[in-house]
């Protein structure tokens, strides 16, 4: 790597708000983890963000695999030489993790890619959670060969909504109308209540934007988990004494 200051990267675009949300959670986690060692701007992590609108094709990943990968590859090539490690602020797009790792092996001075599935696996296993609910967009909730979390099914049992369409349409509406649109929070609550699992993984970056407390449910926000992992790695690499 170069001698630049330690840098983390975020690829956004599916959707852009999800990238903003992850960056915000990185800043919140950084201040929380640093505690009394945090004094202001100078202790904030150095962040590079690439937001690519074409990544929105991931909502229909099976139909748009080639075009989506082209957008992912373009974004990775742009960000990887500028950072020490990076993430994609989208659960669905982390399905491309093996291809991303293969691409990085061909790029000089490329940062490390941190996948959502590696973070979620560690979080669930450390918490002793072997069975959880899973709320996600259609490609992820299907838990088939196009789902990012299929590889976790050997360790984790996932309960998904009996009907996938209402949740997928809800996520699309968050993208179309914004998180404050009337009725979105109630639709989310109705879907979450229909799961029997008490611990529910929010495996779409739009869902934490509208999620509120639901009786009997504990939510695991994958985006928040990723943010905490990013900050922990950054603090360790920067050798900050807490």
> What are the tens digits of pLDDT across the range 97-153?
999 999 999 999 999 999 999 999 999 999 999 999 999 988 899 999 999 999 999
Identify the CATH number of the domain in which residue 154 sits: 3.40.50.1860
Whether residue 195 lies inside any domain: the answer is yes
- 67 and 144 in a common domain: no
- 127 and 214 in a common domain: yes
Whether residue 175 lies inside any domain: the answer is yes
- 160 and 79 in a common domain: no
Residues 52-70 have pLDDT tens digits of 999 999 989 999 999 999 9
Whether residue 61 lies inside any domain: the answer is yes
Residue-level pLDDT at 6:
87
- 109 and 229 in a common domain: yes
- 126 and 111 in a common domain: no
Which percentage of the chain shows pLDDT scores above 90? 83
- 214 and 121 in a common domain: yes
- 170 and 134 in a common domain: yes
**Number of folded domains that form the chain:** 2
Residue-level pLDDT at 212:
84
In which domain, by residue range, is 38 found? Answer: 7-115+225-237
Q: How confident is the model at residue 210 (pLDDT cuts 50, 70, 90)?
A: very high
**How many whole angstroms separate alpha carbon 147 and alpha carbon 232?**
27
- 83 and 46 in a common domain: yes
- 109 and 38 in a common domain: yes
- 158 and 74 in a common domain: no
pTM: 0.90
- 185 and 198 in a common domain: yes
Q: How confident is the model at residue 1 (pLDDT cuts 50, 70, 90)?
A: very low
Are 70 and 80 within 8 A, CB to CB?
Answer: no
Whether residue 88 lies inside any domain: the answer is yes
Whether residue 213 lies inside any domain: the answer is yes
Whether residue 180 lies inside any domain: the answer is yes
Residue-level pLDDT at 184:
95
Whether residue 2 lies inside any domain: the answer is no
Does the pLDDT of residue 155 top 80, yes or no? yes
Whether residue 242 lies inside any domain: the answer is no
- 108 and 30 in a common domain: yes
């Amino acid at each position: 790597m170069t001698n630049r200051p330690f840098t983390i990267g975020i690829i956004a675009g599916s959707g852009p708000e999800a990238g903003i949300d992850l960056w915000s959670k990185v800043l919140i986690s950084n201040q929380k983890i640093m505690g009394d060692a945090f004094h202001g701007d100078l202790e904030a992590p150095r962040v590079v963000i690439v937001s690519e609108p074409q990544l929105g094709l991931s909502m229909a990943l099976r139909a748009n695999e080639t075009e989506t990968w082209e957008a992912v590859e373009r974004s990775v090539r742009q960000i990887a030489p500028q950072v020490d490690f990076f993430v994609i602020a989208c659960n669905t797009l982390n399905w491309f993790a093996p291809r991303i790792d293969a691409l990085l092996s061909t790029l000089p001075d490329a940062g490390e890619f941190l996948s959502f599935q590696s973070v979620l696996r560690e979080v669930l296993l450390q918490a002793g959670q072997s069975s959880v609910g899973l709320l996600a967009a259609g490609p992820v909730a299907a838990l088939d060969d196009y789902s990012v979390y299929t590889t976790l099914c050997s360790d984790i049992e996932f309960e998904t909504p009996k009907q996938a369409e209402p949740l997928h349409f809800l996520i699309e509406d968050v993208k179309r109308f914004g998180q404050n649109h009337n009725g979105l929070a109630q639709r989310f609550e109705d879907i979450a209540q229909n799961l029997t699992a008490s611990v529910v993984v929010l495996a779409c970056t739009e869902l934490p934007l509208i999620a509120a407390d639901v009786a009997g449910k504990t939510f695991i926000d994958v985006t928040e988990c990723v943010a905490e992992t990013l900050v922990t790695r950054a603090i360790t690499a920067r050798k900050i004494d807490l």
